[in-house]
Structure 1
Amino acid sequence: MLERLEKAPYWALLSLAMNCLLLMAVSLTWEGDRTPKDSTPTTSVLPQAKASMASEAAESTDGLVTAVGDREYFNYQQWVELVRQEARAHADAPRLTVLLGDSISLWFPQELLPGRRTWLNQGISGEKSDMLLRRLDALDGTQPDTIFVMVGINDLIAQVPEQAVAQNLEQTVQYLKQQHPDAHIIVQSILPHGSERATWEGRDRLLQLPNDRIQAVNTAIAQMTEAEGVDYLNLYPLFADGEGALRPDLTTDGLHLNDRGYLVWRTAIALQLNEDGDR
């Protein structure tokens, strides 16, 4: 048994250890940081339609057009305008905490976000790192306490070079530091995908992306965050199985997360905020 553990991949051992910690942390943080009924709302107050759109949305093959049930279609520019409206509505929100990213961030269940904060979800389905970089000015009028960033999986699926992803994230961090010098910036790792078990509609493209390429980009992101003096939250080991692929119990299709996956992510966020003194 000991010999098997010694030969196991590092991410498998780290995943095992971290998940043991998460099992304990979930029970401690679930009730501990939920928002009291009379405290500040923790989720976006604008508009209710966005929540329903997020639950029904399906990415097109190019990631730029989002189908909303059978009723209407939102193209990318309409999504950008929607998140800009929400950002303007949160200009003076207390303890504003922002999620920046793609559909994985967009579909984060509001009820699972850690409490005692005002959460502003700025995720857009199909987002790539250069697209996110171009819309960061939507936050210029806000005063965020904390900003979480996760982006890059759509770049890699589209065969964007790793170096370009890392550079776009570096420019993203530099912009946020300049515009929001008092904000706590946390860049999160790109998550693994489900490999052969994936059922996502773009599975063929997904299988052309080895998970070790994602790990290589994450290494570059970690180095960048250290150089820029911002925090790095490495989620990869929490979601990876023994082969480095996305754990099937945490995903709906090998790319996106189910509620259990979001609970793991939520607990990691809560622990990160607690480690930093829950600013």
Structure 2
Amino acid sequence: MTSPRSLPPQLASALRRLEEVPLWVLLSLVLNGLLFITVLVLFRQVHRPTHGVLSVANAFAADGLSGPATPPTLGDRRTLDYQQWVALLEAEATAAAQANLPRQTVLLGDSISLWFPSSLLPGRRTWLNQAISGENSSGLLNRIILLDQNPVESVFIMIGINDLIWGRSDAELVGNLRAIISRLRAQHPQAQIVVQSILPHGGPSATWEGRDRLLALPPERIVAVNAQLKQVASEAGVEYLDLYPLFVDGEGFLRPDLSTDGLHLNANGYLVWRSALAFYNEADHSR
């Protein structure tokens, strides 16, 4: 390998400066490059026919079926109380089960999953967004029965940030996740189950209304809990998708360029998440 001394002075100087750049800065540059590539790919995709990112809202029209009335938009759902929200999700799951929609893939979680733009979800699947704003692991465990009748192919779970924000113990969260996986495995033995890591929060730069609770949640605790969630997934024989490194900055907080308020994601954040799901599927983890 050519040593820096044999290189032209300007190039050798540039290499020395590059060695002084922190690793997290280099990682950020790489991720931004991937994000730029993703935007280009998505831009190209909207100019050619797609093969169907189906959702409950449009799957009936796509398949020529007579289904229920179009469900409320996500904006409308913000006015619902918890029980009304559960009832709506039950109706959507039931409709998808009765229509036997193809390749049913479920998002389970809280508002971070809820606001995932349907247009960015990877194609050739029927996506059921079964997330609820403010959801915690106990609530998710109690309503997992809503999917009992669905021919579920894949489930992507992201849960836990609200448990930590609102003072629930790590042990309770881990125990609930273990029970959620157990219930899904018993009811859908052939389904692919993917546990996704909890994302970092914005810390001091956050503008979310519960900012004080975020400041009381150190980044190290999220890292430690994610390690436990990974262990639960391994012990249960399900997949673990570690999204945390894609969203964290050099201080351990959520990258401001990927967030609206230090807790929730913006369009760029969902593009990063979408890229991770796409790479995951292309790596033959999907069925």
1:88 has 2:94 as partner? yes
The answer to whether the Cα contact below 8 Å between 2:111 and 2:134 also exists between their aligned partners in 1 is: yes
* 1:141 aligned residue: 149
Matches within 5 A, 1:99-114: 99-114=107-122
Give the counterpart of 1:175 among 152, 177, 183.
Answer: 183
In structure 2, relative to structure 1, the CA distance for the partners of 1:265 and 1:207 (3 Å cut) is same
In structure 2, relative to structure 1, the CA distance for the partners of 1:32 and 1:40 (3 Å cut) is closer
After superposition, give the CA deviation of every residue in 1:179-226 in whole Å (9 maximum; x if it has no partner): 101111111000000000000011111111111111111000111111
**Can you give the 5+ residue segments of structure 2 that lack an aligned partner in the other structure?**
1-16, 58-68
Aligned to 1:49, the other structure's residue is in SS state coil
TM-score normalised to the size of structure 2? 0.82
Aligned to 1:90, the other structure's residue is in SS state helix
Amino acid at match of 1:186: V
The answer to whether the Cα contact below 8 Å between 1:33 and 1:115 also exists between their aligned partners in 2 is: no
| Number of matched pairs | 257
In structure 2, relative to structure 1, the CA distance for the partners of 1:30 and 1:222 (3 Å cut) is farther
Q: Which has the larger radius of gyration?
A: 2
Distance 2:227 2:145 in 1: 27
The answer to whether the Cα contact below 8 Å between 2:90 and 2:146 also exists between their aligned partners in 1 is: yes
**Can you give the 5+ residue segments of structure 1 that lack an aligned partner in the other structure?**
58-67, 69-73
Give the counterpart of 1:42 among 33, 54, 78.
Answer: 54
Amino acid at match of 1:263: L
Distance 2:45 2:52 in 1: 16
In structure 2, relative to structure 1, the CA distance for the partners of 1:104 and 1:110 (3 Å cut) is same
Distance 1:130 1:35 in 2: 42
In structure 2, relative to structure 1, the CA distance for the partners of 1:28 and 1:278 (3 Å cut) is farther
Distance 1:31 1:115 in 2: 14
* 1:154 aligned residue: 162
* 2:8 aligned residue: none
Question: How far does residue 34 in structure 1 lie from its aligned partner after superposition?
Answer: 9.8
In structure 2, relative to structure 1, the CA distance for the partners of 1:275 and 1:124 (3 Å cut) is same
Structure in which a larger fraction of residues adopt helix: 2
1:75 has 2:81 as partner? yes
The two structures, once aligned, show a CA RMSD in angstroms of 2.3
In structure 2, relative to structure 1, the CA distance for the partners of 1:224 and 1:161 (3 Å cut) is same
* 2:247 aligned residue: 239
Distance 1:147 1:35 in 2: 28
After superposition, give the CA deviation of every residue in 1:218-268 in whole Å (9 maximum; x if it has no partner): 000111111111110111110111111000011111000111111111111
* 1:202 aligned residue: 210
The answer to whether the Cα contact below 8 Å between 1:35 and 1:115 also exists between their aligned partners in 2 is: no
The answer to whether the Cα contact below 8 Å between 1:34 and 1:115 also exists between their aligned partners in 2 is: no
1:118 has 2:126 as partner? yes
Of the two structures, which has the highest relative contact order with CA contacts closer than 8 Å and spacing of 6 or more? 1
Report the more deviating stretch, 40-49 or 16-25: 16-25
Amino acid at match of 1:89: A
Give the counterpart of 1:188 among 163, 184, 196.
Answer: 196
* 2:6 aligned residue: none
Amino acid at match of 2:246: L
Aligned to 2:54, the other structure's residue is in SS state coil
TM-score normalised to the size of structure 1? 0.84
Distance 1:30 1:130 in 2: 39
Amino acid at match of 1:80: V
Distance 1:16 1:163 in 2: 36
The answer to whether the Cα contact below 8 Å between 1:102 and 1:127 also exists between their aligned partners in 2 is: yes
* 1:51 aligned residue: 74
Amino acid at match of 2:200: P
1:227 has 2:240 as partner? no
Amino acid at match of 1:77: Q
